[in-house]
Amino acid sequence: MNPFSLFVVFLIIWWTVLFTVLPRNIKGQAESNDVVKGTEPGAPVDSNIKDKFILTTKIAAVIWVLVCGLIWSDLVSWDMFGDWFRRR
């Protein structure tokens, strides 16, 4: 696998993990009784986005290593899925 492919695989995994991490521990303004005038009551009080990016990167790195290990070990290859694409 070339470096660009490695980066693309990591990026896809990172974005997927990000969308699972983002909704965690969100507290809205209405829940904290601190609604700022002119804003949506469901808007987050403190989103902790930096912490979520760090957590996303750590989780994605572990998944990325596992995926790359599967690819390099030849346990999973395009040949396994070749018949699926050829059948019509």
Give percent of the chain with pLDDT exceeding 90.
44
Q: How many domains does the chain have?
A: 1
Confidence of residue 79 (pLDDT cuts 50, 70, 90): confident
- Which domain does 64 fall in, by range? 3-86
CA dist 29 → 20, 42, 52, 85 (Å): 22, 6, 19, 50
Q: Return the pLDDT at 88.
A: 55
Q: What is the pTM of this model?
A: 0.76
Strand partners, 28: 44
Residue 60: how many other CB atoms lie within 10 Å: 22
